[in-house]
Amino acid sequence: MITGERMAVVDENAAALGVSQKQLMESSGHALARTIRAVADTGSTIAVVAGRGNNGGDAFVAARFLEDYDLTISLLGRAERIGTDIARENWDALQRAGFDTQEVTDSSEFDLPECDVVVDAMLGTGISGDLREPAASAAAAINASDATVVSVDVPSGFDANDGDHGDDGVDADHVVTFHDTKPGLADLAADVTVADIGIPAAAERFVGPGDVRLARPDGREGRPYIIGGGPYTGAPALAAQAALRGGSELSFVAAPDAVAGEIQGYSEDLIVQPYERDDDVLTPETAQDLLETAQEYDNVVVLGPGLGTADETLEAARQFLESFEGRVVVDADALRVVPNLETDATLVCTPNRRELAGMGGPDVDDLEAAADEVEAFAADLGHLVLAKGATDVITDGERTRISRSGTAGMKVGGTGDTLAGIVAALMTYADPLEAAAAAAHVNGLAGERLAETEAFGFLASDMLKEIPAALWNETDE
């Protein structure tokens, strides 16, 4: 099962793999025509009622395979306002071939012809709520007719994401949905056909531009709270700066007073807050202070970069996570306390291969080959895992994505810290799995951009300036 929102991601990823939207529309239209032929007797009259999106485009393709029927195609709106080039191309093909087409520019002009079968291709999976004109009038006419109704992908007015179905939607007898069934279709009285339209499994499995588009913020949003530093100062600074580059409006770092100035020195854009207590490392007492701050503001927390492995620090990390109920990216040394942890927090754990094995996960060189093992480990752990390697595996124990972006030059220290910051930035806006998958891809793309001119000589700090381009311009690469 796949939501309409996720289906748009898969379509975009398929295009990045070389399976174009035009190819998919041709496959969808052909599949639709097969179902129409199955329900329409020889000599039947068929009326296609199409919208200006790709849903209508699918029906335009189908019409070419139904030329031996008495066929009419009604477009709701003006042809020059068809929303995509490929849908417009298929409309133009029908007109040049002499099909019976008409444009309906006003709801009062819509008149459903007498027909045996009506094809509802008005609206697809991206629509929710009650229909607007002229679709509302068209849907009413379709529902009032005695014709067999075949809907394309979902009935118009059916919400394939959140179940916000319109009260005036189309009552379909048959639904031809593409690639996979959609949430709620099984509850309809209609016969549902799931048509394979040739989308590779890789479009769902591998992170691509669709995943990035879904997870990235529309603007500045979020104020991640990075708890790190002590023995090491660069790690929390990199994570905090990466969060800013990933769209956060502010980035806070809580660190021991002894190193706060050094962390601030990396960038004037950070807000560095020294511990109130005179501790050189994170202690349980300080962790309680930080917990109160984190609970008050409910921002995404990044716990771990540069913390060190002192016994009192690990105990402090454990106590923080056990008491916190918000969203946390757990990285580096803090990962040691996650196994057997009892917490209501939403954790995204970002271990490298060595840290993954130390947590009790698979000890392997090839994470992609061991993706099923990583998924099983995440299920047992009860938390989302973003396992970092030459290929990244992102899994919540049920759903798994693979990110293949990146370059050998990213073996340099600090790239995991930039990743943690990007995850935190995107978690403000997106579902944790979506945020983690997109962040892994963006972090790798940032490295790839640098590798075009300096294959092995760049630093993690160099990647910071590439994050915005990788995140917002990724589909233009």
Binding residues for (6S)-NADPHX: 54-58, 124-130, 153, 235, 306, 417
- DSSP string over 61-86: HHHHT-TTSEEEEEEES-GGG-SSHH
Structure tokens at 456: 């092995």
Residues within the annotated binding site for AMP? 416
Residues within the annotated binding site for K(+)? 55, 120, 156
Q: What is the spatial distance between Cα 262 and Cα 118, in angstroms, rounded to a whole number?
A: 70
Q: What is the dihedral of CA 423, 426, 428, 432, to 10 degrees?
A: -60
Asked if residue 46 lies in contact with residue 145, where contact means CB atoms within 8 angstroms, the answer is no
Asked if residue 151 lies in contact with residue 182, where contact means CB atoms within 8 angstroms, the answer is no
Asked if residue 45 lies in contact with residue 114, where contact means CB atoms within 8 angstroms, the answer is yes
Q: Please, which residues have CB within 8 angstroms of residue 233's CB and are 6 or more apart in sequence? A: 255, 259, 262, 263, 266, 306
Residues within the annotated binding site? 54-58, 120, 124-130, 153, 156, 235, 306, 416-417
Identify the sign of the CA torsion 280, 282, 284, 285. Answer: positive
Q: What is the spatial distance between Cα 313 and Cα 247, in angstroms, rounded to a whole number?
A: 30
Asked if residue 141 lies in contact with residue 76, where contact means CB atoms within 8 angstroms, the answer is no
